[in-house]
Amino acid sequence: MKKHLLYSFFLLVVLLTAWEVVVRIRSIPELILPTPSVILMDIIQLVKSGFIWPHLRVTVIEIIAGFLIGSLVGLLLGVTVSQSSLLNKVLHPYIIASQAMPKLALAPLFVLWFGYGILPKLLIIALICFFPLFESSLTGLRLVDGEKVDLFRSLKASKLQILWKLRIPVAIPYIFSGMKVAIVLSVVGAVVSEFIGASEGLGALIIVAQGSMDTPMIFSSFLLLTAIGVSCYQIMDVLEKKLFKKYTFHRRN
């Protein structure tokens, strides 16, 4: 095991131990702050009973689908805008405005317009996570060396060839940075969307647990959502490294 992983694990053990000790010494009620051991037992019980699986499945599907939709829209819009200064000046204020709007306030409207199905939840998630892809792809596509662009043009390369052969390879690190931010934000978007009119999902489970004052279940749901977010981020990180390795190999050969 790498040294930094050992340090991270040690820090986690220290924090959880301190949490457990402080709660027990100060006799803090479970309703206010349960111990890590109580939360762990609650998660085990939720898994064994099978109660958590439908909610977990719904949230994961929403996260993945919303992320894919938002990322695709953000990437395509970033590529399109990067090819036209006029288009960038026209659309950019509206794109910024779409991010300035509070998403929690939009959720009830989406439910009113599109019903209580999965569509309003996907729209909220996509709206939250498309912007990082738009900004990162736009930045990466515009950071190409002007001399290289002139070289491609002198070789009679078309605008599409310059984009595919030059700009996109340069922008890949920026695009993946945006994707890693977006996949984490999609978890936030899923929870926010489930807070409004959802009967399934970890966000809906948090609302139910809050109503029944089941604090351990609230913390269990938080922990599962955190695990999903961290796992998704790590998957994107692995994909980025594999793609860079493959791309570097082809460039050298």
Checking if the pLDDT of 156 tops 90, the result is no
Checking if the pLDDT of 165 tops 50, the result is yes
227-236 as b/e: b if 16+ CB within 10 A: ebbeebbeeb
2 located within any domain:
no
pLDDT at 245: 64
90 located within any domain:
yes
pLDDT at 169: 82
The residue ranking higher by pLDDT, 92 or 228, is 228
% of the chain residues with pLDDT over 90: 30
pLDDT band at 233; cut points 50, 70, 90: very high
pLDDT band at 187; cut points 50, 70, 90: very high
Top-confidence range, 9-13, 57-61, 76-80, 188-192: 57-61
Checking if the pLDDT of 28 tops 80, the result is yes
Tell which residue, 63, 26, 1, 30, has the closest CA to residue 229. Answer: 63
206 located within any domain:
yes
CATH number, position 135: 1.10.3720.10
Once rounded to an integer, what is the mean pLDDT over residues 193-202? Answer: 81
* Residue 214 CA from chain centroid, whole number: 27
For the chain, what is the domain count?
Answer: 1
* The token pair that represents 118 in the structure block: 């999965």
pLDDT band at 1; cut points 50, 70, 90: low
Q: What is the pTM of this model?
A: 0.85
10 located within any domain:
no
The residue ranking higher by pLDDT, 96 or 145, is 96
Query: Are 159 and 90 within 8 A, CB to CB?
Result: no
pLDDT band at 243; cut points 50, 70, 90: confident
14 located within any domain:
no
The residue ranking higher by pLDDT, 84 or 201, is 201
pLDDT at 69: 93
6 located within any domain:
no
The residue ranking higher by pLDDT, 80 or 248, is 80
Question: 205 is in which domain, residue-wise?
Answer: 53-252
Checking if the pLDDT of 60 tops 50, the result is yes
Mean per-residue pLDDT of the chain: 84
**DSSP for 158-217, written as a single string:** -HHHHIIIIIHHHHHHHHHHHHHHHHHHHHHHHHHHHHTT-SSSHHHHHHHHHHTT-HHH
26 located within any domain:
no
Checking if the pLDDT of 3 tops 50, the result is yes
Checking if the pLDDT of 59 tops 90, the result is yes
pLDDT at 196: 78
Please give the helix or strand (H or E) that residue 225 lies within, else none: helix 215-252
153 located within any domain:
yes
Checking if the pLDDT of 203 tops 70, the result is yes
pLDDT in tens, 133-147: 888 888 888 887 777
The residue ranking higher by pLDDT, 62 or 169, is 62
